Amino acid sequence: MCLSIVVYFLIFLVALIVVLATLFGNLYASDRRPDAVHFVQTRDGWKLALHYYAPIKGAKKKRPVLCCHGLSGNHHSYDLTERTSIARLLAAQGHPTFLLDLRGAGFSEKGGPCRRHPLRWILSDHYNFDIPAAVDKVCELTGAKKIHYVGHSMGGMIAYCFLQMPVAEKIARCVILASPANLKHMRPAHKLTPLKYVIPGIPLRKLTQCVAPMFEWFRPLQLVSGNINLRPGDYTLSAANCQDQTPMSLLVDLARCVEHGHLLGDDGRDLTESMSEITTPTLVMCGHKDATVGFGPVYEAYERIGADDKKWVPLGEEFGQDDEYGHMTILVGKDVDREVHPHIADWLAKG
C-alpha cells in the first residue's frame, strides 16, 4: 500500500513538473531572434547551430566573434534581453557575431532515445569536435582567417583546452567569463560517478522552467543558479530559457576532473598545468560573489595563462561596480551594459 502511494506520488510529481515546465516555458519563451541560423556538422556527426547577428549598416567591419555558453546552457544567455545582449553589442560595433549551441543544447542536435545519437558525450567532444567545426564554419561564412572567441563558464574551460591545440591559430583574441581551471573547491561533486548507472541525464531545463516565476523572489534559487542582481522579469526569463540538456556522462567526466583537481584530457594529460602554453591574448573576468565556480580558482586560471597580452577584470562592489556579480550575473545582470560590456568590446577591438 505504501509503495503504491509512493509510485502514484512520483507519477503525479513528474506530470506536474512537465505541465508547469511546458506552461512557463511557453509563457516566458524568449522572443529574441538572430538574423540567421546556420548549421554545421562535426567530424563525429553532430549537427550544431550557429546563431548569426549581422553587423549594423554603417559600422566599420571588424573580426568575427564566436560565443560559447557554459554547462547546461545555450545561446540565450548571450541575447536574453536588448540591454544584456552581448550579441547585439558586438554586432553594433561591426563584429559578425555567432552564438554557438554545443551538442545537445538549444537548436543543435539533441541526444537521447529514438534519436541519431545517445544522450552521452564528454568534455573533450566539445573541444575536439564542436569548437573546431564551429570555428571553421565561421571562417567559411565570413572569409576571415582568424576570429575572436568568448566563453562563459564551461565555454571558457573548453577554451583553456583548445587554445593548446592547432585550432588556437585561428583565434585572434579570447574573452573568458567566470571559468576555473582548478576544480578542487567543487568537491565532493566527484562522487556523482555512480549516478551514471541510474539516470542518463538531468532534465535541468524542465526543472528550472517549472519554477521559473519563483526565481523573481526566492533567494535560494537565485543564489544556487548564480542569478543575483538581475532586473525584475529577467530572473524568470533566465530560468525559462537559459538551461538545457545535461548528460550524466558529461557530469561524470567533469567529476573526474574535480577529483583530480585539474582539467584532464582523455589520455590523462593535465591540461591545467599546461595552460602556460596558451599564447592567445586573453581577457579573464569573474564576479567576486561567484559561488558556482569560485573567484579564486578563476583568478588562478588567469595566472596560469602563458600569454604576454592578458588582462584580469574582477567584478563586485569591492572593485568599483555598483553591485555584486554571481555566475550568471556576468551575462544577464542589471548593469552588464555599463560594467561588463565595455571591457569585452574594448578588448576585442584591439585585434
Main-chain phi, psi angles of 164, to 5 degrees = -100, 10
Main-chain phi, psi angles of 165, to 5 degrees = -120, 170
* Number of other residues whose CB lies within 10 A of the CB of residue 51: 25
Looking at residue 334, its pLDDT comes to: 96
Looking at residue 326, its pLDDT comes to: 96
DSSP string, 125-171: HIIIIIHHHHHHHHHHHH--S-EEEEEETHHHHHHHHHTTSGGGGGE
| Beta strands at 47-53 and 97-101: parallel, antiparallel or unpaired | antiparallel
CA distance 151 to 159: 7
Q: Please, are residues 286 and 298 in contact by the beta-carbon 8 Å criterion? A: yes
Tens-binned pLDDT, residue by residue, of the chain (351 aa): 577 787 777 888 889 999 999 999 999 999 999 999 999 999 999 999 999 999 998 888 999 999 999 999 999 999 999 999 999 999 999 999 999 999 999 999 999 888 999 999 999 999 999 999 999 999 999 999 999 999 999 999 999 999 999 999 999 999 999 999 999 887 766 566 666 656 778 889 999 999 999 999 999 999 999 999 999 999 999 999 999 988 999 999 998 999 899 999 999 999 999 999 999 999 999 999 999 999 999 999 999 999 999 999 999 999 999 999 999 999 999 999 999 999 999 999 998
Q: Examine residue 188 and say whether the peptide bond preceding it is cis (omega within 30 degrees of 0).
A: yes
CA distance 30 to 96: 22
Domain spans of the chain?
A: 2-349
pLDDT single digits (tens) 23-69: 999 999 999 999 999 999 999 999 999 999 999 988 889 999 999 99
CA distance 87 to 14: 36
3-state secondary structure at position 203: coil
Looking at residue 1, its pLDDT comes to: 57
C-alpha cell at 131: 569548437
CATH class assigned to 2-349: alpha beta
125-138 residues labelled b (16+ CB within 10 A) or e (exposed)? bbbbbbbbbbbebb
Give the predicted TM-score (pTM) of the model. Answer: 0.95
CA-wise closest residue to 150 among 90, 61, 105, 237 = 90
Looking at residue 195, its pLDDT comes to: 64
